[in-house]
Structure formats: C-alpha cells, structure tokens
Amino acid sequence: MTDLTELGVAAIRDGVAKGDFTAVEVAEGFNANVAAAQAALNAFIVATPEKALDAAKATDARRAAGQPLGKMGGVPIGMKDLFATRGVQTTAASHILEGFKPEYESTVSQKLWDAGAGMLGKLNLDQFAMGSSNETSYFGNVISPWRRSDGGNAPLAPGGSSGGSSAAVAARLAPAATGTDTGGSIRQPAAFTGIAGIKPTYGRCSRWGIVAFASSLDQAGPMARDVRDCAIMLEAMAGFDPKDATSLNMAVPEWEVGLSGDLTGKKVGIPREYRMDGMDADVAASWDRGIEWLKDAGAEVVDVSLPHTKYALPAYYIIAPAEASSNLARYDGVRYGLRDLPDGANLQEMYAATRADGFGAEVKRRILIGTYVLSAGFYDAYYTQAQKVRTLISQDFKNAFTQCDVVLAPTAPTAAFGLGDMVSDPLAMYLNDVFAVPASLAGLPAMSVPAGLNREGLPLGLQIVGKPFDEQGVLNAGLAIEQRAAFSARPERWW
C-alpha cells in the first residue's frame, strides 16, 4: 500500500470517498509522522491525535451510512495555535496564554471540522504572530525540515509567523494546515519551505476566534502542497460570519471547480519597483522564469508601477504595532491566562508584572512602538501619516489593476536563512517581508507557489497578487506556474 502521508488534500478526500483507504488509516499515518518529528522539528505546541482519529472515525461512519463527507472529508490538518479551539490549549505561542483552554471554537476551525477535517494538533508560530522566522515562540523555535545542499546541517528558519504550519506541511506531518497572514505570515513561510499558501481578500475568512494581532490586516488562509489543495481548503474556511464586523457578506465561489491554468486573454503585471538594487540573483532569475511561464500559459505580460512600494514596510511597522498595542491590552492577568502578583502588589503593579513576565521581547518591542506612535502629540505624525500612505499603496494597486489582472513578484527577497542569523537586528528581519506587506496593506488576495530551488538547494516562491475578491484569478495564475515549475523537490528526511 502507498504511504498515505504522501497524499495531499484532494487525493485523501477522493481516496476516502472512493473507499481506496479509510480516513482512520490516513489519520493514523499522519499522527505517527507528527509524533516521530516532534523532537527534531518542534512544529506542534500540542498534538491531538485523538481528535484526528475521532474525526476520521466520524467520516468513515458517514461513508458507511452513505452520507456526504464534506469538502475536507477524511483530511487531517494542522491548526495554527492562533485559532481558538474548544477545550484545547490555545497560546498564540505566548507564555501569557499558556494553559488557556477556550470555551468556544473559532469560526474558521469550526467550518473546517464541519467540512469533515480533523485536527492533528496546534501548530507552533511566532509569538502573537509577530515574526518572520518562528524564533519568537515561547515554546521554542520550529526547525525547517529543509537543509542546504552544502552538506552542512545548519538549522534553517521555516519562515514566520506560520512556521509550524509550513514545516509540518513540507515534512509531511500534515497534508495541509491553517495559517494567518498579517504582513506575509502565510506566503513567506510557504516560500521558505516549498509549499503553496494563499491569503484571501481581507474579510473572506472570519477573524472570530483568531487571537488578534493587527485587526485591519489579519486574515486566515490555507497552506498546502499545491494550488488545488489550497483552493479546496479555502472553500471550507471562507464565508460570511455575522460575528466579525469586517466579514464579507458574499457567496464563497467554487474555486476548485474554477481552476484553470490557461491564462489566454489575461494580463500579468510586473511591478518595476520590486526589482530592487542588489536583488538576490537566484530570486531575480526565478522571477524571470515565472514571467516566461505565464507567457507560455497564454498571458500577456505588462510593465506596471507601484510607486509607493518602498513605503509599505515602514507604514506597516507603524500600523501593525499600533493595532497590536491596542489588541494586546486585553492580557491583564484578570480574565484569562497568566497572572503575576508580586507580594503586596496593587492592581496596576499586577498588570505590569503579568505583562512583563508573559510577553516575549519582540511582542514588548511592538507594543511599545505602537503605544508610542499612538500617544498624544505623535499620533498625527506617525499613525495618521501611515494610514494616508496606506491609502496611496492601495491606490497604486487600483491603478495597476486597470492595466493587468494579476501582479507577479517574488514572495521574499531571499530563501530561508539560518536560525539566529537575523535575531540581533529586528530591522533586517522586518525587511524579509518587503514583497509581502504591500498586498496586506491593500487587503488583496495573494498567494505563494513553489518556483524552484536556489544555488543552495533551498526553495524559492513566486507570489501572485490579485484584485479584491479575485482569488480565482490568483489561484489560476498560481496553477499555471505550478504546472510549469514542476516543483518536486522535498526535504530529505533527517528527523
């Protein structure tokens, strides 16, 4: 029998439906992979093999009874530990939420369970989703399953913040995983690990029950091995939710049915400002190949300008910390999570001690920046200015989309870097999201697909950004690249 953990979402769903194998066999296979890799990769904060098995048994029972199995019937997945899961510890990889067991289920995770998926466990991430390397987790670094081809064993970053998700999918610990993307946290880790991931239009997936980082940017999406699997899982995750004030009240398209790699009549924009001085040669070459692939798929390639690109990151590093400082005010040692009450401390001292003990260095750094830029006397100079620049960035895309249907760019300026290489310089780490952040600020659907390996044998991703609500156009351009890149590289198992 084939190793069922080699299968992706579509193959598992179809195989279970046809009776080629049972959902329980699939869950057992992935549960075993999760357990075997935990010590080496640290991709999960909590494993829930019994949840995966229970969901699988339910799917097998429905099949036996002749009932429909759902879009994700029989597919076990990893859940980023930013989604509230009833009765299962939900930490956002922080000490301040250690031991927190929600009394409710997030909308997105509930939709996935309703669609027949099961939970393998809660995936590690950067603390409160703040980071690009998964090195800010209170529960330790996630180690990428990839290694450089030079024979060295230097541990590499799986990307961030959805680093547990990317590592788990790349290492075949899960056929797919949820991610969230605030400024690239689905796309950059997908690119670093040779998998696919899509951030849909802001509002497609409900934010209800997702631990909030920067609410005007946060958006959930799937991470999986290929474009089709992403389309299937996104259908299961998306949809209107009255509990989220910014949820889009729109029908969820049948993205899987609509998949087509034929781009005849489509125009692909190449943003000239993304071709930066000193660009990594392998990244530039990969981008050039992507352009040729999309031409081969029938698309016309046009030069477009996104003139405010260089201001996207600095605007993001005002807006996101500002929103984070507000959102994270809720962690006070009173209602849930950690409480640090020094002897004789009053209420204010308890708040300050709890937050000092419960937040990591990067989270504190962002709360302080956010508090500063929102403080009296500085608000207009920083926050209002950044929100005006955000308007201009959004207008750049609107203008570009009068000339093209999608934009093609690299996902990240580099392949995966080594763990520890960037931690001493927060700014250098922030710059890794230079190509990902503009689409976040504009709320646009964007995906990363694997495009090849660099000279060190590490994956590179290409990013497609689309018009609002045009996930189909993004997925189709992603599929056209996938069909031509024929990316079959995978990390050799060492864990």
Of the listed 51, 71, 80, 266, which one is catalytic? 80
Of the listed 161, 165, 206, 247, which one is catalytic? 161
Q: Dig out the tokens for 233 from the structure.
A: 């899982």
The DSSP bridge partners found for residue 339 are: none
Give the nearer residue to another protein in terms of CB position, either 68 or 378. Answer: 378
Q: How far is the CB of 211 from another protein (least distance, A)?
A: 13
Of the listed 94, 137, 144, 185, which one is catalytic? 185
**Window 217-236: residues binding another protein (CB under 8 A):** 217
**Beta carbons within 8 Å of 99's beta carbon, 6+ residues apart:** 89, 337
Q: How far is the CB of 138 from another protein (least distance, A)?
A: 16
Residue 206: active-site member? no
Q: How far is the CB of 66 from another protein (least distance, A)?
A: 31
| 330: contact with another protein by CB under 8 A | no
Angle between helices 312-327 and 385-400 (to 10 degrees): 130
Single residue of 391, 398, 403, 492 touching another protein by CB under 8 A: 391
**Window 276-295: residues binding another protein (CB under 8 A):** none
**Window 186-215: residues binding another protein (CB under 8 A):** 201-203
Single residue of 3, 18, 66, 103 touching another protein by CB under 8 A: 103
Q: How far is the CB of 173 from another protein (least distance, A)?
A: 29
| 371: contact with another protein by CB under 8 A | yes
Distance CA 386, CA 365 (A): 19
Task: Compute the Cα dihedral for 170, 173, 177, 182 and give only its sign.
Answer: negative
Helix (H, G, I), strand (E, B) or coil at 118: strand
**Window 341-360: residues binding another protein (CB under 8 A):** 341, 345-353, 355-356, 359
| 483: contact with another protein by CB under 8 A | no
Residue 440: active-site member? no
Quickly list H helices, 328-448: 347-358, 361-373, 379, 385-400, 426-430, 437-441
Query: Which stretch, 221-229, 231-239, 362-370, 472-480, contacts another protein (CB under 8 A)?
Result: 362-370
- What is the per-residue burial (b if ≥16 Cβ within 10 Å, else e) of 106-135? bbbbbbbbebbbbbbbbbbbbbbbbbbbbb
Distance CA 51, CA 373 (A): 43
Residue 161: active-site member? yes
**Window 119-158: residues binding another protein (CB under 8 A):** none
Distance CA 100, CA 96 (A): 9
**Beta carbons within 8 Å of 462's beta carbon, 6+ residues apart:** 286, 287, 290, 408, 409, 410, 411, 448, 449, 451, 481
Whether the Cβ atoms of residue 417 and residue 146 lie closer than 8 Å to each other: no
Query: Which stretch, 14-22, 254-262, 285-293, 439-447, contacts another protein (CB under 8 A)?
Result: 439-447
Q: How far is the CB of 292 from another protein (least distance, A)?
A: 33
| 39: contact with another protein by CB under 8 A | no
Query: If 0-12 CB within 10 Å is exposed, 13-18 middle and 19+ buried, where does residue 3 land?
Result: exposed
Single residue of 267, 289, 339, 484 touching another protein by CB under 8 A: 339
Distances (CA, A) of 17 to 4, 21, 69, 149: 14, 9, 7, 39
Distance CA 204, CA 368 (A): 31
Single residue of 236, 386, 437, 460 touching another protein by CB under 8 A: 386
Single residue of 80, 111, 122, 308 touching another protein by CB under 8 A: 308
**Window 405-434: residues binding another protein (CB under 8 A):** 426-427
Active site residues: 80, 161, 185
